[in-house]
Amino acid sequence: MSAALPVPVIQALQVLTIAAAAPGVSGVIAKVESRLQGRRGPRVLQPYYDLAKLFRKESLAPEGASGFFLLAPLLAMMCYLTVPLLIPVLTSYGLPLGYMGDILGGGFILALASFVVAVAALETGSPYAQLGSSRAKTFGAITEPVVLFVIFAVALVTGTDLPYALAATVRSSAGQIVRPAHLLAAAALFMVILYETGRIPVETHTGTNEFGMIEEARPFEHSGPYFALLKWGSAMKQLILYTILANVFLAPWGLASTTRAVDVGLAIVALLAKAIALGCVVAVIDDSFAKLRLFKITEFVSAAFLLAVLGVFTLYLGGG
């Protein structure tokens, strides 16, 4: 018999798994994208080396920027470390802090992190950073209602918006996954994830300077450990969104149902496998389309919004 882990340790492992695995998942996606483009690409562990290098560098702040400029990466990182406490990362049963907020609260925390980074970018006076911040908030005004509609649709199906309860409902029957309202809501969420992780083919992910930058532009003026925190937080945000889509909406299996160390360890492996598989799908989508013009983002996100609305109407009309 495997030894049982204390519940607080499992709760801490949820946060540590997201924090430790996030750069690796980003490295796998970068490697897959390179292979799809016929290039050798960077090493899978390259994001870890990059973070270690940035943490050893000196930190600089633009002239005229307030203390909030340097505080913003720390606040954003705290937000990203909080969300794994609310969602089923490793367990199918609710942990003590898992019920202190619902999935809507988790969305608000992620939005707060994005807002903090955007405000810090506005303080720099850099045209690139300010442009990326402005665009992020403009398009965010469209994506946030989509998230609300997705949560509204699944809450109508399950009677709750607690992530653990949502996942339990999907696990209860395979028929839950193929319900029209659920599929439409999951598709809308997937499209939002493509936008939130910068995978819509408008900007690059290599840090090259261009006017279409959004995610790469906001931390443009940060350096050293503060820039490392923003890069690390961005990778964590990506893995958090993948975890929500996989462990709540599409494939909430492989989670530990007991506190045994073996079950928790297998849950970590299952999470990484699902995240990498989802990341490979995203990489294929990202590399399958020519780069779009910037205004096409609104059409893309509007399509996601219409899918979410259609999911709600499908449910109300009795087909969900």
Domain spans in the chain, listed from the N-terminal domain onward = 7-316
Q: For the beta carbon of residue 40, count every other beta carbon within 10 angstroms.
A: 8
In degrees, to the nearest 5, what angle opens at C-alpha 106 toward C-alphas 174 and 223? 125
pLDDT at 275: 93
Between the two ends of the chain, the Cα-to-Cα distance in Å is 43
Q: What is the pLDDT of residues 53-99, one digit of tens each?
A: 989 988 877 777 777 888 888 999 999 999 998 888 888 887 887 77
pLDDT at 186: 83
The encoded tokens of residue 267 equal 């849950």
Q: What is the pLDDT of residues 29-56, one digit of tens each?
A: 989 888 888 888 788 899 999 999 989 9
Crossing angle of the two packed helices 224-244 and 46-55, in degrees rounded to 10? 140
Low-confidence ranges of the chain (pLDDT < 70): 1-2, 125-128, 132, 154, 157-160, 173-176, 200-218, 220, 290-295, 318-320
